[in-house]
Amino acid sequence: TDAYWSMTKFSWVLFNRFEPYFRIGVAHMEAKWTEAGAEVKIESDTNLTWGFGGKVLIWDFKKPRLKLVGDGFYRITDLEPETGYYAGSKVNIDTAKSRFYLREWQVSLLAATEIDVGGPGRDEEVMGVSSVIPYIGLSYSDVSGRMRLTWTSGVFNNPGVIEADNNLGLFAGVEFVGPNSVSLNVEGRFIDETAITTGLTALF
């Protein structure tokens, strides 16, 4: 139900149109479900997560200044349950037999425009920002995985089949482009998830 991600993304721009990328970092998650009338909760450790994907520039309109971009990625998270609760009470868990992993994929389409802070065609900066890129888009995603809370006594709990409540999502964000191709991004995601993402990008 709750997840915290910290990842580094490596990407390459090919032909000024296609950008494959690879992500690696760490994640921490919490999950809750009801079983036999009692609430079960798992808190994971913080461990490795990775994924890959790509962006493609579908169309670049000059007037109005608008870009359509497609994006798709696949992400894998394999964590170890660290703490378990049953009916509000902490239980002793067998970490070797407990599981907590997720697989996620997503495709999206976004529309973005670029606003020159100093005016059209100018290189001026305002508070270190030369341009602002607002964007909005739609996404389709799905998740699969496995969770199992195994007690040291041998009792185990699991939520059964894991799937997304909603597959269709809406997202919107803004990117602030500074000098030397360094930019700051803030994005909100809604409907299929409730999330805020921030990122710092440096181009070489």
Mean pLDDT, 10 residues at a time, the chain of 204 residues: 91 93 96 93 94 96 92 94 93 91 95 81 62 96 92 90 90 91 93 93 85
Give the pLDDT confidence score for residue 126 in this predicted structure: 59
By the 8 A CB rule, do 176 and 201 touch?
no
Residue 63 is classified by DSSP as T
Q: Which helix (H) or strand (E) holds 85?
A: strand 81-86
Instruction: Enter the tokens of residue 89.
Output: 């009470």
Q: How far apart are CA 153 and CA 13, in angstroms?
A: 53
Give pTM, 2 decimals.
0.83
By the 8 A CB rule, do 93 and 83 touch?
yes
Give the pLDDT confidence score for residue 103 in this predicted structure: 93
By the 8 A CB rule, do 78 and 98 touch?
no
Give the pLDDT confidence score for residue 63 in this predicted structure: 84
The rounded mean pLDDT for the chain is 91
Coil, helix or strand at residue 180: helix
List helix spans (H) across 40-115: none
